[in-house]
Amino acid sequence: MPRRFSKCLSIANQIRDRRVDRVLGSIYEREKRAYVDAEKIYNQMIEEVEARREYMHGIILELMKLESDFVLDEWLAVLRAAEQEDFTEISRKLA
């Protein structure tokens, strides 16, 4: 392997094999592992936001069942705004 490919040489030294196909295979496996880990973290973040949104939606439904007065309407508006923020966060993460 030529000296100008220093990253490939360092990987070849790590896996103790200088064959190009083995080095490229090792690089591919590392990238694949990194992608899978990043995808797991991404999915966990979306699930957390979705769970938080569902919880707040349940609270909103319970507050709507109660008699409406000024205090409840104020908190209901705050919860709806937070729910809308979660919707925008989910859509931003999915885009």
What is the mean predicted confidence (pLDDT) over 52-72? 81
Q: What is the pLDDT of residue 61?
A: 83
Of 49, 48, 42, 41, nearest in space to 87 by CA = 49
Q: What is the pLDDT of residues 1-42, one digit of tens each?
A: 556 777 777 888 788 787 778 888 888 888 899 999 999 999
Predicted pLDDT at 2: 56
How far apart CA 59 and CA 10 sit, in angstroms, is 56
Is 74 a residue whose pLDDT tops 60?
yes
Structural tokens at position 3? 């000296």
Instruction: Please report, for the chain, the start and end positions of each structural domain, with discontinuous segments joined by +.
Output: 6-94
